[in-house]
Amino acid sequence: MNFEALKNYALWYYTRYFPSKKKLLEKLTKKSLDSDLASQVLENIEHIIDEKSLIESKIQYYLSLHKNLRSIKTKLAQAGFEKEMYESILVDKFVFEEESLLQTSSLRHKIGNYQRAGKSMAWVRQKFIERSPDTPLVEQIIQEIY
């Protein structure tokens, strides 16, 4: 595969899936079987890749799906984003000291499903309480359901 063909593929793949630079480089290396060519292509299109805004968008998307903090961090790590970058974005823009990221309706539904599946209250607490602001909401819903 030549440089232009791989560059076109890289642009298509990036605009289709919005991967991290690391994942894009892996995909280009698999496609071309030449790591030097893949690195050159990535270097050539690097100016259009804004990982910071990409991470922010992905966090916003995961929050809209009612994902908890641990799940969001896991997904971002699996996507190949740098831990320091997504941790700082989470702290700066999304995680507030006295606020829980958990949403009541979604949490009530999930805890109800776990209760019907025979999960214990301790298991539910361990699953959902990640930070101190989560505790009152989780405890309230556990008391209602159990």
pLDDT digits (tens, 9 = 90+) for 14-31: 999 999 999 999 999 999
Cβ neighbours, 10 Å, residue 27: 17
Domain annotation covers residue 137: yes
Please state, in angstroms and rounded to a whole number, the distance separating the CA atoms of residues 45 and 6: 11
- The amino acid occupying position 59 is I
Question: What pLDDT shows up at residue 129?
Answer: 87
Which residues, in sequence order, are CB contacts of 102 under 8 Å at separation 6+? 66, 68, 128, 134, 137, 138
Are 86 and 112 within one domain? no
Are 35 and 61 within one domain? no
Where does a domain end: 48, 63, 83? Answer: 48
Please state, in angstroms and rounded to a whole number, the distance separating the CA atoms of residues 92 and 11: 30
Nearest C-alpha neighbor of 74 from the set 65, 83, 85, 84: 83
Cβ neighbours, 10 Å, residue 95: 17
Domain annotation covers residue 99: no
pLDDT tens profile 30-65: 999 889 999 999 999 999 999 999 999 999 999 888
Our count of domains for the chain comes to 3
State which residues form the domain around 122.
104-145
Domain annotation covers residue 117: yes
Are 56 and 67 within one domain? yes
Are 12 and 36 within one domain? yes
pLDDT at 139 over 70: yes
Nearest C-alpha neighbor of 95 from the set 141, 137, 51, 132: 132
CA 144 and chain centroid, separation: 30
Are 44 and 7 within one domain? yes
Alpha carbon distances (Å) from 75 to 20, 69, 141: 12, 10, 26
